């Protein structure tokens, strides 16, 4: 996708600007995305003042669910804190007979990436501890999409083990279809039936409880930043209500700067490790 072949996009966005009567000055590519295009939309408001919005546009069968899910996730986050961009609208359009979808949000002026350890930890701790599941359970009211996978989290359950198992099971089913690797499938089955229950069931056993927390869902280096205002921000979310420590899973990958000890330690100072501490497996 490129802006040069998106003539219908301009017309569609004009109808979805947050302030009626605003006029688009230009739409220019901004940032990068593996799954679509990202752009900065400059507009003139009815007052004559200028404003910028952030635009994400996608095509294909997952475009609608991706944009709808992210919009709903951002709404949920913004009801708790302002460390993510405010969502304004999402919609659909056709370009050359192909279905597209877009998401329009607040434009955050970024100073550097990723966010600093203490600032990011504080922002995530606020999201995790101050969010409240509308049902008191794990899950989400709509599907959210991680990369090209529709996450299996669109249901509600009191069991974190049940939700995480369903979520991981769908990912493993995709791997089974594409890898054609029987040994991998066997290991995946053992993880689902043995490892996951051994690690997660104790978190809600013997009187222990877990609070369903709203999570970013894909919190790696490229989805966090320090804004020009000195605050930590996160974006490109695929949220749901989970155990808060799910958020730190991406940080185990050494290719991410967020895997550095400063990030995990800063978070643990604000949100203690869940009992039983002996099975905690993030360094």
Cα 5 to chain center, whole Å? Answer: 28
| 17-44 pLDDT per residue, tens | 999 999 999 999 998 887 889 999 999 9
pLDDT recorded at residue 160: 99
> Sign of the CA dihedral 89, 92, 94, 98?
positive
Residues of the chain with pLDDT under 50: none
Task: Name the DSSP class of 147.
Answer: T
Is CATH 3.30.200.20 what the domain over 20-105 is classified as, yes or no? yes
What is the distance between the alpha carbons of residues 140 and 155, in angstroms, rounded to a whole number? 6
What's the pLDDT tens digit per position in 173-214? 988 888 889 999 999 999 999 999 999 999 999 999 999 999
Q: Could you say which DSSP state residue 273 is in?
A: P
Q: Where are the domains of the chain?
A: 20-105, 111-280
pLDDT value for 281: 67
Confidence (pLDDT) at 173: 92
Residue matched to tokens 């996978």: 149
Alpha carbon distance 216, 245 (integer Å):
11
CA distance 85 to 77: 9
The model carries a pTM of 0.95
Note the CATH number of domain 111-280: 3.90.1200.10
pLDDT of residue 147: 86
> Which is nearest to 103 in space by CA: 5, 35, 26?
35
3-state secondary structure 197-257: HHHHHHHHCCCCCCCCEEECCCCCHHHEEEECCCCEEECCCCCEEECHHHHHHHHHCCCCH
């Amino acid at each position: 996708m490129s802006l040069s072949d998106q003539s219908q996009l301009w017309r569609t966005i004009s109808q979805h600007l947050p302030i009626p009567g605003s006029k688009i000055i230009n739409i220019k590519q901004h940032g990068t995305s593996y799954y679509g295009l990202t752009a900065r939309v400059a507009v003139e408001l009815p007052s004559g003042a200028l404003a910028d919005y952030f635009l994400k546009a996608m095509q294909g069968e997952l475009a609608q669910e991706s944009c709808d899910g992210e919009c709903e996730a951002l709404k949920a986050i913004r009801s708790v804190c302002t460390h993510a961009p405010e969502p304004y609208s999402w919609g659909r359009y056709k370009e050359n007979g192909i279905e597209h979808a877009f998401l329009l949000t607040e434009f955050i002026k970024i100073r550097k990436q990723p966010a600093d350890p203490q600032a990011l930890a504080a922002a995530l701790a606020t999201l995790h501890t101050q969010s409240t599941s509308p049902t008191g359970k794990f899950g989400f009211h709509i599907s959210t999409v991680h990369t090209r996978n529709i996450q299996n989290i669109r249901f509600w359950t009191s069991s974190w083990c049940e939700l995480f198992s369903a979520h991981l099971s769908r990912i493993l089913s995709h791997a089974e279809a594409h890898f054609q690797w029987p040994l991998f499938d066997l290991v995946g089955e053992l993880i689902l039936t043995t490892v996951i229950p051994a690690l997660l069931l104790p978190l809600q056993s013997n009187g222990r409880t877990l609070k369903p927390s709203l999570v970013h869902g894909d919190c790696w280096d490229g989805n966090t930043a320090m804004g020009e205002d000195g605050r930590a921000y996160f974006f490109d979310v695929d949220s749901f209500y989970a155990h808060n420590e799910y958020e730190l899973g991406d940080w185990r990958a050494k290719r991410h700067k967020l895997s550095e000890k400063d990030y995990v330690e800063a978070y643990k100072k604000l949100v203690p490790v869940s009992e039983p501490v002996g099975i905690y497996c993030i360094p």
